[in-house]
Structure 1
Amino acid sequence: MKDYSNEILEMGSKAKDAARLLRTKSSSDKDAFLIELYNQLGIFKEAILEANELDVTRARESGIKESLVERLALGEKRFSEMREGLLQVASLKDPVGDVDSMWTNTSGLKIGSRRVPLGVIAMIYESRPNVTIDAAALCIKTGNSVILKGGSDALNTNIALMKAVGRAIEIKGFPEGTAQLVETTDREFTGQLLSARDQIDCVIPRGSKGLINFVANNSRIPIIETGTGNCHIFVDKGYDVKNAVEIIINAKTQRPGACNAVETVLVHSDCASKLLKSLVPSMQAAGVTLALCESSFRISHELGLELEHCREATESDWETEFLDLILAVKVVNTMEDAIEHINKYSTGHSEAILTKNYDNAQKFLDFVDSAAVYVNASTRFTDGGEFGFGAEIGISTQKLHARGPMGLKALTTNKYIVYGSGQIRN
């Protein structure tokens, strides 16, 4: 077992020194950095995309399923979106320094709650090299320094991206430890990093269930847990079948490897035949394999539907985040049954109800306990950009400090500022 304590201490010390300076940076200074990073990404674009193509090729050669390769790939469109996200973050209001409230207590003290940076953030993530830029942007905008530990599958891309980040840091005169990338792929480094309580204030894991569990079980540093997405859509009786199928196709196939993609569709028994008649062939035509419960399989067979890409669902299907073109389908007798199923198997990420009944919609919102709950929309909207945050550092499925897509405010905490005039406590 290699000892990385010296390397971690060096990185952590640089990050702490940087954090002390970053928390005093003005909003205009931080926005100027983001604009410079936007420019530098344009300059380094060719090298970044070449590095990404190398990572993608190696991923395919190693047999990684295509939906996960898709998360790794940048391409022209995603690269452009990543750059534009920097301008969006720069345009957002900086929460640092905001005084949430101010009051005077019985002793005449004026007490306020001010937003301040968290300090040093360690971001541990897999695939998705755009997270390198999103995390750096959000952390620096909120006056935090960041240590980035990406996955081995995106190492070449992340190194190329960090050259642009480093150049922007140099040009704008920001501290050396503002943003640092861990280049070793040894998991032992991650384990030792999670013990660096004196250097790091917060750890944010983003990736597979295995990664998140590893961080949660081994970290001695407070974490903000971005959870897996076993997401559900419940189709209530009376809802328009055509629109329901459109929403489900979008939620499953637009980016099947995303954490907000739907994994299970629950169908009210009163509309099961009508919906399955359209849903089953539509999903199979889109390349989706269906795991059908006993009732939905029987109904589909009675309808004479082609079931070439269908199989009977097992218990494990209800609890699996497929991250692939696989969809579980279950018929339920009541909305209460749907809510019970969701609260049993959900990972607390994103759930939706498709209904024309206002009371059912409100009940679903009240009784489903997830970070994002939708009425008549695709779960794919659970995203920092879609929520107006410019970007996100992750989607929290825990309940302390931050929940749902985490933008700028989630990367700050508060401190109390107290103005007195010579008071002493009796």
Structure 2
Amino acid sequence: MTKKNSSYAASIKAKDRANNLHSWSAQKNLDPKVITKAKGIYYWDHTGKKYFDMSSQLVNVNIGHGNKKVIDAIKEQADKLPYIGPAHAVDVRAELATKLLEVAPDNMGKVFFTIGGAEANENALKIAKMFTGRNKVMSRYRSYHGATYGAANLTGEPRRFTCEPGIPGFVKFFDPYTYRSPIEFASEQEASKYYLDQLREQIIYEGRDSVAAIFLETITGSNGVIIPPQGYLKGVREICDEFGILMICDEVMVGFGRTGEWFACDNWDVTPDLITFAKGVTSGYVPLGGVLVRKDIAEFFDDNTLMCGLTYSGHPMGCAAGIATLEVYQEEKLIENSRTMGEVLGEELEDLKAKHPSVGDVRYIGLFGSIELVKDKSTKEALVPYGQDPERIMSKILASLKDKGFSTYSHENIIIIAPPLTIKAEEIKEAMSIMDQVLTEVDEMIN
């Protein structure tokens, strides 16, 4: 690193610290890395240090960094028509909607575009209430649906607390989190029945004609990569049909190949009524999100006004990026690679679980995985209490990983593993060898 580079980086960091507020952080002791480039599954800081991007940034850079096809599509659209309002018909907006409906479950009829995932969830809420005429929405405790006010009320975990007292009509229920269930189930089906029976009873107590939607991450994302047991999602679908409730799947994080299928619900052959998406639709190259809407719900708005609107709905730059990104998934066979490399990642995670006393559980599907850290495997006591980490233990673990070139994030006592879908087997093994080293440090911490 030259003195010129060092001086430049110091200037950037000083301006950042003086003028930017960083998400979800007390600002005083932040020390952000100055990033200068990214390519494939890696990025580099100003010193030339290389990092494995093992969380795809915020589980959104699915196609990897620096994809020329997508970058060229953005440049071309910028020259052609960088912006036009959502009231107009424009080629890229129409084409992206068409392409999305081709890969979505076959009950979907139209797309409403948003800026990102939180706005997608906000507008799905509004669509559900307008269509059903009902006022309550149920979502799970271990969930995150966004930081805007409605999405935060939909959220179940502690990031909702600053938006409380909340909006009336948001009701929480428990996840099928079998690792931490007080009951030892004989099978996944038995677990599903237990949690579904609870949900059905709760709907009755809330008023079966008052619930507009059950809103759930198809696979719980940042709150632990909690994969639903067999029969659970189909059971939710049946409960929704029984009571005339809409099933809304938040696929902002798990859509577009993350789980080895175009959408996570495809893993269980379940068709939601609405699907929210963002992140992987452009792999973060340009902000874009949206709601996939069931055919008859879309038709409802032929004669009823859709009271949803955003200045940047279906932004041409985002749509151009989305078209190119979908083509990259297909041309580079990234959905298939997610499945095959997911098997490699799963083997690595199982090895870590067997080897390290600090690893209570691992969960994975496609290239979406997590490591749950505990103080004691037999009691399953979490490494840090839920909603608390006064000694910043998880931050220290992440810092050790990053110092060794492994970049990811954690939530509660859980480390997320979600690399770009372009990753190769040897890259997974090399990256996870770093995780192995750091988990040895965690083992020593709990002894």
Q: Give the alignment's TM-score, normalised by structure 2.
A: 0.24
Larger Rg: 1
